[in-house]
A and B are shown apart, each in its own frame.
Chain A
Amino acid sequence: MPSRRTVLTAGVAALTSGVAGCSRSPSTPTAVSTDSDHPWPTAGHDPGGTGHAPAGPTTPDVEWTRNRASVSPPLSGFLSTPVIGNGQVYVAGLIGEYIEADDFTSRLLALDTDDGSTSWTYAFADGASGTPALMGETVIIGDGGGTLYALEDDTTRWSVDLGGTVGTPTRYGDRIYVPTSHGDLYAVSANGEIKWRITRRGLLTSLFGNPDPVTVGMPAVDSQGVYLVAETQDQTAVLVAYDHGGSKRWQYDLASPYGGHRPNGPAVADGTVYATAGGTVHAVDADSGTRAWRFVSGADVAGPPSTDGTRVYVAAKNLYALSVADGTEQWRVVNETIPHDREADTAPYVGRPPVADGRVYLRAGAFDAADGTRRWGDDADEWLEASDAYYLDPYNSRAMAQPVVSDDALYLSHTHHGVRKLA
Chain B
Amino acid sequence: MTNLSRRQLLATLGAMGTVGTAGCSSILEDNASASTSDSGSCSPYDPAATTQSTWPTKHGGVDGTGAVASDAVPDGPLTQEWSVPIDTHVGHHTPIVGDDTVYVHDMDTTLFAFTVETGKERWRTSLEGPGPAPTLGDGRLVVATENGLEAYDTANGEHAWTIESSSVGIFDSPPVIADETVYIYGGVSVSAFALADGSLQWRVPIGLTSNAAPAVVDDTLYVAGDDTYLRSLSTDDGSERWRQKTAAHIDCNVAVSGETVYAGSDSGTVIACDRADGTTRWQYSLPSGDQQPQTIATDGARVYVTAGDTLYALDAATGLPCWRIDTHRGSYSSGIAVGDSTLFVPTDANDSTAETEAAGAVYDATNGNQLSKFASDVRYGFDGGPSVAGGAVYTHGPAALRRYSTEDTTAAE
Contact = CB atoms under 8 A, between A and B. Distances in A.
Interface of A: 257-258, 294, 296-299, 317-318, 328-329, 332, 334-339, 341-342
SS class, residues of chain A in contact with chain B: loop
B188 interface: yes
A332 B208 contact: no
Contact of A298 (B2, B167, B208): B208
Nearest to A340: B5
A341 B167 CA distance: 9
A328 B229 CA distance: 12
Contact of B208 (A257, A294, A317): A317
B370 interface: no
A337 B188 CA distance: 8
Give the interface centre of B207, B209, B228 by most chain A CB atoms within 10 Å. Answer: B207
Interface in B180-219: 187-189, 205-209
A318 B209 CA distance: 12
A234 B287 CA distance: 26
Contacts of A332: 207
B226 interface: yes
A341 B166 contact: yes
A335 B189 CA distance: 10
B267 A334 contact: no
A335 B5 CA distance: 23
Nearest to A336: B188
Contact of B248 (A296, A317, A335, A337): A296
Contacts, number: 50
A334 B266 contact: no
A317 B208 CA distance: 8
Contact of B207 (A334, A341, A342): A334
Contacts of B24: none
Interface string B225-240: 1111000000000000
Interface residues of B, number: 22
Given A334-B207, A339-B208, 8 more contacts: A257-B267, A296-B228, A298-B208, A299-B208, A334-B188, A337-B188, A341-B166, A342-B5
A335 B207 contact: yes
A334 B209 contact: no
B402 interface: no
10 contacts: A294-B247, A296-B247, A297-B208, A318-B208, A334-B205, A334-B206, A335-B207, A336-B189, A336-B207, A338-B166
Contacts of A299: 208, 226
B59 interface: no
A298 B205 contact: no
B188 A338 contact: yes
Nearest to B266: A257
B249 interface: yes
Contact of A338 (B5, B187, B247, B267): B187
A298 B226 contact: yes
B316 to A, nearest CB: 27
A306 B227 CA distance: 21
Contacts of A334: 188-189, 205-207
A297 B206 CA distance: 12
Nearest to A295: B245
A298 B249 contact: yes
A298 B166 contact: no
Contacts of A336: 188-189, 205, 207
Interface in B295-337: none
A257 B266 CA distance: 10
A334 B247 CA distance: 19
Contacts of A317: 207-208
